[in-house]
A and B are shown apart, each in its own frame.
Chain A
Amino acid sequence: MRALTWHGKHDVRVDTVDDPEILNPRDAIIKISSTAICGSDLHLYDGFIPTMKAGDILGHEFMGEVVETGPGSTLVKGQRVVVPFTIACGSCYHCGKHQYSACDNGNPADNQDIGMELYGQPMSGLFGYSHLTGGYAGGQAEYVRVPFSDVGPIVVPEGLDDDEVLFLSDILPTGWQAAENADIEPGDTVAVWGCGPVGLFAVQSAFLMGAARVIAIDHFPRRLELARKFGAETINFEESKTYEALMEMTGGIGPDAVIDAVGLEAHGFFVDNVVDQIKASTFLGTDRIHSIRQAIVACRKGGRVSMAASSTSSRSAPSWKRGLRSRPGRPACSTTCQVCSTRSSKARSTRPS
């Protein structure tokens, strides 16, 4: 078959490679009908992601027709399916908690060592996204082998075109979860950095979850125009100072929740960005995360920060990759002192003398 393969930084080629085969009982083979290029594919293309090998097949957003199934697959030949980019087993503790991207078993045993070294614990397998996440062949190809095909793939209902469902493979759920992780409360003002597909889906999801206002930030006028169509107010960071604009637009309070949908290759000529870029090109650092820093600084006190976009730095990646929830904060003493005082006097009165 023909497939898009990675050969090095800024070197991808369409090669002829062997067709995939059924190897495990729960496998299925999908004939690709549509595939997308994700923003995170650019991180591979630009050489930001370690553990890529020459010849790796790219692509983690794809859909197609089931052409072959293993005896343990629940799919049926001829079905049209969208395939989520995470490879999850459906039977481990994490899958049981619906934390599929933290699946214990989707990543082959030998590949799990890398994730353990870098992030403390390996994550699930991913299609077409380096050997850190399993070394699975991706879907920018004619065919793909889908492991645990009884868990991930979504059968497409009749009457829906590829274009209407393809985004279920990654960017729509990524945008939705970005908004979910922002714990949006009715009436909130939410700011979204980045109006790529993920950011635009996050804008729409935030409104669906009850946000009263969404402020979208980017520098491409076309993208900002789309965000405006979905009801967002916009800031073009090339024309306005983002932090100042956000403060003025929220009466000096800052947004209640902020969503970063840019991640490790932030654009723009900012001091920290330039420093990060120098670090990345001299191997002192692995990302430039201007938008994440700015989102944190602009968020209102006691607000919520949602980081949807990729991060690879040694500081943030162990949290990001593994979906950790951290809650920094100085104690809100007036309330917590009350609680502690009540609890300790209660403990004293029940303590055996």
Chain B
Amino acid sequence: MASVRDDAPPTTSKSRETRNSAVDAFPQDRGDTLIGRSVTINRPRAELYAYWRDFARLPTFMENVERVEMLSPTRSHWVVKAPGGKTVEWDALVTEEREGELIAWASTEDADVPNSGRIEFRDAGARGTIVTATIVYDPPAGLVGKIIAKMFQREPAIQARRDLRRFKQLMETGEVATSSRTRAQLQEEKA
């Protein structure tokens, strides 16, 4: 019997089953953990899309991303900070793209941290644009890896919501807010 559907996104579902089927519906899913986060940004959709599409600029607000190299318009190389001062690297491919609306990606088969996801941009009238990130990934080294990652605040769900806030800050104010007092403190915080 079909259950009564509600309008809540599957990323907020209490049911493992619903979340799993959302992962399955993902083209080229790379993992079994689904996270999603939306933020409203008081800027036009086209502007936000254009900034994001130039992946090399993502480290300006993604604190755990050291650098992204564009190998081709659809292939990029990612260098990402990992717990314990290490880095992990992978290549990602754009799997779907709709100008001004959506970018989907998936890491290549041999990635250290398999991940895939999509970033969507929807008009929100006078409030700007709703930006939604949906990410499917494999937590590094299982549960222990996840706990360690969380301790270092590199847990993807936390990272994603903070990255989106920083993206909002950068787009709305032209800078990423910091409460550091000195340049040395700021460097320490970013490390």
Q: Is the CB of A105 within 8 A of B169?
A: yes
B168 sits at the interface (CB 8 A):
yes
**Residues of chain A contacted by B173 (CB below 8 angstroms):** 26, 89-92, 105, 148
Q: Is the CB of B179 within 8 A of A108?
A: yes
B183 sits at the interface (CB 8 A):
yes
A145 sits at the interface (CB 8 A):
yes
**Docked CA distance A113–B163 (Å):** 12
**Residues of chain B contacted by A17 (CB below 8 angstroms):** 181
**Which of A93, A109, A148 contacts B128 (CB under 8 A)?**
A93
**Docked CA distance A90–B169 (Å):** 11
**Which of B177, B182, B184 contacts A147 (CB under 8 A)?**
B177
**Docked CA distance A147–B174 (Å):** 12
Q: Is the CB of B172 within 8 A of A105?
A: yes
A72 sits at the interface (CB 8 A):
yes
* Also in contact, A25 and B175, with CB within 8 A (given A18-B182, A20-B181, A20-B182): yes
Report the interface size class on chain A: 35 or more
**Docked CA distance A110–B179 (Å):** 10
Q: Is the CB of A135 within 8 A of B42?
A: no
**Residues 1-23 of A contacting B (Cβ, < 8 Å):** 17-21, 23
**Docked CA distance A93–B43 (Å):** 10
**Residues of chain B contacted by A93 (CB below 8 angstroms):** 40, 42, 127-128
B71 sits at the interface (CB 8 A):
no
B178 sits at the interface (CB 8 A):
yes
Closest-CB distance, B146 to chain A (whole angstroms): 17
Q: Is the CB of A25 within 8 A of B174?
A: yes
**Docked CA distance A104–B173 (Å):** 10
Q: Is the CB of A109 within 8 A of B40?
A: no
**Residues 176-191 of B contacting A (Cβ, < 8 Å):** 176-184, 186
**Docked CA distance A44–B55 (Å):** 43
**Residues of chain B contacted by A57 (CB below 8 angstroms):** 181
**Which of A19, A26, A106, A113 contacts B158 (CB under 8 A)?**
A113
B162 sits at the interface (CB 8 A):
yes
**Docked CA distance A17–B186 (Å):** 15
* Also in contact, A106 and B177, with CB within 8 A (given A23-B186, A92-B172, A93-B42): yes
Closest-CB distance, A17 to chain B (whole angstroms): 8
**Residues of chain B contacted by A90 (CB below 8 angstroms):** 173
A107 sits at the interface (CB 8 A):
yes
B11 sits at the interface (CB 8 A):
no
B118 sits at the interface (CB 8 A):
no
* Also in contact, A91 and B172, with CB within 8 A (given A18-B184, A20-B182): yes
Q: A20-B182, A90-B173, A135-B179 are in contact. List 20 more A-B contacts (CB 8 A).
A: A18-B182, A23-B180, A23-B186, A24-B178, A25-B174, A25-B175, A26-B174, A72-B174, A89-B169, A91-B42, A92-B42, A105-B173, A108-B177, A109-B169, A111-B179, A112-B165, A113-B158, A113-B161, A134-B179, A147-B178
18 CB-based A-B contacts, threshold 8 Å: A18-B182, A21-B183, A24-B175, A26-B173, A92-B42, A93-B42, A105-B177, A106-B177, A107-B177, A108-B177, A109-B169, A109-B176, A112-B165, A113-B161, A125-B179, A136-B179, A137-B181, A148-B173
Chain B interface (Cβ < 8 Å from any Cβ of A): 40, 42, 127-128, 153, 158, 161-163, 165-166, 168-169, 172-184, 186
Sorted nearest first, the 3 A-B pairs with minimum C-beta distance are A109-B165, A24-B175, A135-B179
